[in-house]
Amino acid sequence: MFALTACSVRTGPLDGSAPSRPATASAGPTASASTAVSGNQCPMAFDASEADFYPVQPSFSAGYTMSIQKLDSTTASWAYEISGDFPYSQWMAWYLYDIKGVPLFKFSDTAITADPGSTNPYVPGNKILAAPRSYHIYLMPSTTPSSVVSSMQSAGTNEAVMPSSSSTPGVSIVSRSYWSSSNDNLGSYDRFGYHGRRTRPPRRSRRSSRIRRPGS
């Protein structure tokens, strides 16, 4: 099964609040909007196939999501917030590709910082069934000031900078979750590694049309 959904989004100014990150994140920027957008509303491809059929899917033991965003004079200034729970699977990652499929950035499972009070189960020594297990990732516009990027990095925020619209007409935001824990008889998880209400799949939840410097 391969399905696409679409959405229309309203963007607005920031509300002045900082992303929910570790204690040092208070110095970081904000990337929120007046209207949140769920993954069910955004342009997103959901793959639940039973056979290999395209390059981004090397195995049907894996679950994938893919969102494609056009970059133009309107969207080039948008920021994206990805929120979700670490899946119950052997490994997972988020990728940012240009429109030609050239990889621009990768968030490996062990490198993603969990939300305060949550646990990243992929870090060696952590429990693989740990709960809670939420995380956030921020994809910032190419116009983001270097001082803001530095603040986010210093705060331990999971962040990457989007390419400019002059370098590529669009991007793909891809997630991969491979070998669900059900393959190891650890529970009745789906191919993405999600199970009932024990966790929630990721969603691209917010966009903003502009950003603010810390403290502004």
| Within-domain flag for 97 | yes
| Within-domain flag for 24 | yes
DSSP 81-109: EEEEE--SEEEEEEEEEETTS-EEEEEEG
Cα 86 to Cα 8, 177, 180, 195, 208, distances in angstroms: 28, 9, 12, 12, 25
| Within-domain flag for 107 | yes
3-class secondary structure, 2: strand
Distance (Å, rounded) from C-alpha 123 to C-alpha 157? 17
| Within-domain flag for 214 | no
**Which of 200, 204, 199 shows the shortest CA–CA distance to 173?**
204
Question: What domain range includes position 38?
Answer: 2-208
| pTM, 2 dp | 0.70
- Chain-centre distance for alpha carbon 158: 9
**Which of 135, 119, 123, 141 shows the shortest CA–CA distance to 211?**
141
Tokens of 172: 């793909």
Phi and psi dihedrals of 100, rounded to 5? -90, 0
| Within-domain flag for 22 | yes
- Residue carrying the six token digits 């989004």: 9
Per-residue pLDDT at 10: 32
Tokens of 30: 């904000």
Total structural domains within the chain: 1
Q: Strand order of the sheet with strand 79-85?
A: 159-161, 134-140, 79-85, 203-208
| Within-domain flag for 215 | no
| Within-domain flag for 106 | yes
One digit per residue, the tens of pLDDT, for the chain of length 216 reads: 433 333 333 333 333 333 333 322 323 333 344 455 544 455 555 555 555 555 555 676 788 888 888 999 888 889 999 999 999 999 999 999 998 989 999 999 999 999 999 999 999 999 988 999 999 999 999 999 999 999 999 999 999 999 999 999 999 999 999 888 877 777 778 878 887 555 677 776 555 544 444 444
| Within-domain flag for 93 | yes
Per-residue pLDDT at 190: 80
